[in-house]
């Protein structure tokens, strides 16, 4: 409850700072959407040259893409900490965070909250609904419940992975630069995993489980494929809890090691 009211205070603060730079807000929203649109263009271009991608049709791949955007938008809103290592470790702002009673991760995240990213989620939901109707898939209330669970699971997977990645900064002095590189890898979870070889498929499913934020949960709603990854879909929330638990533990352990490098 205390965290909810804190959260509200952070949001109010965010709104105040943002209103000073009004033009930026819209530039950010538009560039965010274009950014997402670029990835969609790739899919559309590819399907001009082939009818199916490893047995998946264009509508199905776009459907997966739509699903992918929903948790990604939520994640983008809550985890906008791209400069964590530089700002909090190198410049030492972590000291300030640690003197306060609320959990350090919570504070770091909400100091950087970025609501415009959420618009991507709505666009994604729209794309998904459009494909759903086009393919004439059956729809029930149960689907909505599952969708909700999958989204939470997917957000937790992102949250866990990026918490862990940012926590690396507690252990290594040099800025690692690994976070932007991870950015590309997460996109591969949008495509049918069966097209990759065993190593990459294993990596995307179990090591950096980005398949669980895209193609696996989305396949639950689609027609069954020969290799049927939709059975794994129900694991999404479980994976979310495990990954987030590990990420948080890694973070907490890192905070204990933190010595305060800045001045």
Partner 1 sequence: MMSAYVDFIRIRFLMMLAYRVNYYSGIIIYAINIGAYYFLWQAIYGSQDTLAGFTVPQMTTYIAVSWMARAFYFNNLDREIANEIRDGSVAVQLIRPYNYLFVKMMQGFGEGLFRLLLFMVPGLFIVCLIFPVSLPTDPKVWLIYLVMLFFSFLINSQINILTGLFAFFVENNEGMMRMKRVMVDLFSGVVVPIAFFPGWLSGIMEWLPFQAITYLPSSFFTGRTPLEEAGSVMLLQLFWFLLLLIPIWLTWRAARKRLFVQGG
Q: Which residues bind partner 1 (CB under 8 A)?
A: 21, 23-24, 27-32, 34-35, 38-39, 41-42, 45-46, 48-50, 52-54, 174-178, 181-182, 184-185, 188, 191-192, 195-197, 199-200, 203
CA distances from 141 to 60, 138, 151, 208, 236 (A): 21, 11, 16, 31, 19
Instruction: Compare residues 61 and 151 and give the one whose CB is closer to partner 1.
Output: 61
Instruction: Compare residues 6 and 203 and give the one whose CB is closer to partner 1.
Output: 203
In the complex, minimum distance from the CB of residue 210 to partner 1, in angstroms, rounded to a whole number: 11
In the complex, minimum distance from the CB of residue 58 to partner 1, in angstroms, rounded to a whole number: 12
Residue in the structure block whose two tokens are 């990213």: 117
Instruction: Compare residues 153 and 192 and give the one whose CB is closer to partner 1.
Output: 192
- SS3 (DSSP) at 157: helix
* Spatial contact of 71 and 158, defined as CB atoms under 8 Å apart: yes
Helix 58-78 crosses helix 22-46 at what angle (to 10 degrees)?
150
Instruction: Compare residues 214 and 237 and give the one whose CB is closer to partner 1.
Output: 214
Residue in the structure block whose two tokens are 């498929």: 201
In the complex, minimum distance from the CB of residue 85 to partner 1, in angstroms, rounded to a whole number: 11
Instruction: Compare residues 1 and 199 and give the one whose CB is closer to partner 1.
Output: 199
In the complex, minimum distance from the CB of residue 199 to partner 1, in angstroms, rounded to a whole number: 8
In the complex, minimum distance from the CB of residue 99 to partner 1, in angstroms, rounded to a whole number: 23
Q: Nearest to residue 187, comparing CAs of 164, 228, 158?
A: 158
Instruction: Compare residues 130 and 196 and give the one whose CB is closer to partner 1.
Output: 196
In the complex, minimum distance from the CB of residue 57 to partner 1, in angstroms, rounded to a whole number: 13
* Spatial contact of 38 and 65, defined as CB atoms under 8 Å apart: no
The C-alpha atoms of residue 198 and residue 202 are separated, in whole angstroms, by: 6
Instruction: Compare residues 116 and 237 and give the one whose CB is closer to partner 1.
Output: 116
Q: Nearest to residue 240, comparing CAs of 144, 173, 158, 184?
A: 158
In the complex, minimum distance from the CB of residue 241 to partner 1, in angstroms, rounded to a whole number: 26
DSSP line for 30-59 = HHHHHHHHHHHHHHHHHTTT-S-BTTB-HH
Q: Return the bridge partners of 53, or none.
A: 56
């Amino acid at each position: 409850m205390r965290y909810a009211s804190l959260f509200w205070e952070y949001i109010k603060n965010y709104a105040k700072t943002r209103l000073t730079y009004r033009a930026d807000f819209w530039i950010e929203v538009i560039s965010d959407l274009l950014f997402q649109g670029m990835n969609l263009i790739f899919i559309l271009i590819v399907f001009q040259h082939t009818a199916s991608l490893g047995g998946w049709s264009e509508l199905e791949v776009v459907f997966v893409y739509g699903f992918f955007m929903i948790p990604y938008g939520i994640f983008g809103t809550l985890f906008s900490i791209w400069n964590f290592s530089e700002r909090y470790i190198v410049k030492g702002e972590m000291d300030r965070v640690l003197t306060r009673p609320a959990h350090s991760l919570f504070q770091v995240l909400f100091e950087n909250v970025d609501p415009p990213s959420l618009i991507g989620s709505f666009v994604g939901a729209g794309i998904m609904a459009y494909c759903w109707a086009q393919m004439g898939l059956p729809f029930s209330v149960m689907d909505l419940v599952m969708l909700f669970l999958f989204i939470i699971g997917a957000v937790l997977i992102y949250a866990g992975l990026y918490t862990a990645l940012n926590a690396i900064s507690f252990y290594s002095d040099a800025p690692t630069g690994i976070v932007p590189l991870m950015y590309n890898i997460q996109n591969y979870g949008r495509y049918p995993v069966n097209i990759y070889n065993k190593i990459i498929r294993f990596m995307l499913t179990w090591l950096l489980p980005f398949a669980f934020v895209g193609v696996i949960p989305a396949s639950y709603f689609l027609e069954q494929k020969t290799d049927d990854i939709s059975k794994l879909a129900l694991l999404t929330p479980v994976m979310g809890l495990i990954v987030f638990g590990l990420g948080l533990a890694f973070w907490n352990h890192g905070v204990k090691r933190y010595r305060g490098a800045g001045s």
